[in-house]
Amino acid sequence: MPVSDYQLISAWQQVLKLSNLEAGQTVTILTSSATNQQTLLAATVASQSMGAVVNRLDLPPVNAEKALSRDPLAYLGTTPLTGNKAAIAALKESDLVLDLMTLLFSPEQIDILKGGTKILLAVEPPEILVRTVPTEADRTRVKAAAARIAAAREMTVVSEAGTDLRCPLGEFHPISEYGFVDEPGRWDHWPSGFALTFPNEGQASGRIVIDKGDILLPQKMYCSSQIILTVENGYATKIEGGIDADLLNEYMASFNDPEGYAISHIGWGLQPRCHWSTLGLYDREQTIGMDARAFEGNFLFSLGPNNEAGGKRTTACHIDIPLRHCTVRLDGEDMVRNGKVLDGGVK
């Protein structure tokens, strides 16, 4: 159901408090032609109610001639900040940027974060934001999972569908996403709730079976047939199966970039307020699929860039694929068993 302005403003106030927003700090709200107007209103009112100095920076969309979809994650090429020195300067002078546009995997974003500016991305529909307001318990749970990843030297993933993946770890630090930005230079996404890392460059190997009911993003579709990925030296070297495999193959080939086939981030979902089934309730252009990325117990892996974690690989092609019913192990110890997280959950 739709939410009232009061509900959405209250949700924003909770997130801004968790993000340690203080009176007198500068908040810049980054928007585009696709920004949800109710979300913009609520973010503005909530920021002002907490005594912040609020600006709005509206930028025109880019990449329309290249992207195959309106989804903002469908093409990670140039951004509205590319070469835009004035906009970059404004964001660097801000204490907090509320990204209602989607600025991801870009050198400009990384540069802004290095200066201590915090960036919170929030582009899902208002009712999803209200349902998934983050909590301190989310942070505790996600950071505990990230600490386990940091101490591990190998992640393995198996499933009854046939997944058998080995990912050596240690080259890249883990990343915690829990829905708010409580430290200088932090980026996060509301909603979220997962811990992830990247396998050592060129070392992931094995097989990934995307089973019926698993989800492809940004296609935002449930698979109707199995897709089998052969992983060698850190890359998906074969994509086999039926019509769903053909669709994925054709989409990825359109980028004409071999780096798009690299294994990118790996981790698991920890957000009980996100659900596997939610994607089927929305039109494809209403959501970017964060329920699918964050639902509790998924194994989320990606194909494409690793510059988010400090790697050198950039590519416009980025595919997120959450799998169900997997067992995820760190150094042989189960973290997720057949799609069930073993940490006891959030109370």
Any domain includes 25? yes
- Is residue 171 one of the residues assigned to a domain? yes
Q: Which residues of the chain are modeled with pLDDT < 70?
A: 64, 66-67, 72-77, 345-347
- How much is the pLDDT for 137? 96
Quick one: 69 and 160 in the same domain? Answer: no
> How confident is the model at residue 285, as a pLDDT?
86
Total tally of structural domains belonging to the chain: 2
Query: Which three-class secondary structure state does DSSP give residue 159?
Result: strand
The answer to whether position 347 is within a domain reads: no
**Helices vs strands, H then E, count in the chain:** 8, 20
Query: Does one domain contain both 304 and 160?
Result: yes
SS3 category, 144: helix
Give the distance from CA 8 to its chain's centroid.
22
66 shares its domain with 152: no
Residue at 92 is within a domain:
yes
Contact of 234 with 261, CB cutoff 8 Å = no
Q: What does the pLDDT look like over 254-271, one tens digit per residue?
A: 999 999 999 999 999 999
- Quick check: 156 and 165 in contact, CB under 8 A? yes
**Residue 146 confidence (pLDDT):** 97
User: Could you tell me which residues come within 8 angstroms of residue 159 by beta carbon, excluding any fewer than 6 positions away?
Assistant: 209, 211, 323, 325, 326, 327, 338
Residue pair 269/289 in contact by the 8 Å Cβ criterion? no
Last residue of a domain, one of 70, 103, 131: 131
Domain boundary among 111, 131, 151: 131
pLDDT at 346: 54
Domain with 97 in it: what CATH number?
A: 3.40.50.2300
Task: Give the pLDDT confidence score for residue 75 in this predicted structure.
Answer: 67
Q: Classify residue 140: in a domain, yes or no.
A: yes
Do 189 and 118 lie in a common domain? no
Question: Same structural domain for residues 205 and 284?
Answer: yes
Structure confidence at residue 107 (pLDDT): 83
pLDDT for res 310: 78
What per-residue confidence (pLDDT) applies to 85?
94
Establish if 211 belongs to a structural domain. yes
Identify whether residues 228 and 334 lie together within a single domain: yes
The neighbouring-strand residues paired with 301 are 266, 321
In whole angstroms, what separates CA 282 from the centre of its chain? 18
- Please name the helix (run of DSSP H) or strand (run of DSSP E) that holds residue 12, with its range, or none: helix 5-18
Does residue 226 fall inside a structural domain? yes
Strands annotated E in 129-212: 154-159, 164-168, 175-177, 187-189, 194-197, 205-210
Tell me, yes or no, whether 209 and 87 share the same domain: no
Instruction: Give me the domain span that covers residue 246.
Output: 136-341
The DSSP call for residue 5 is H
Q: Please tell me whether residues 274 and 196 are part of one structural domain.
A: yes
Q: Within this chain, do residues 106 and 154 fall inside the same structural domain, yes or no?
A: no
Residue 127 and residue 87 share a domain:
yes
Tell which of 106, 131, 156 closes a domain.
131
Looking at residue 347, its pLDDT comes to: 47
Residue at 346 is within a domain: no
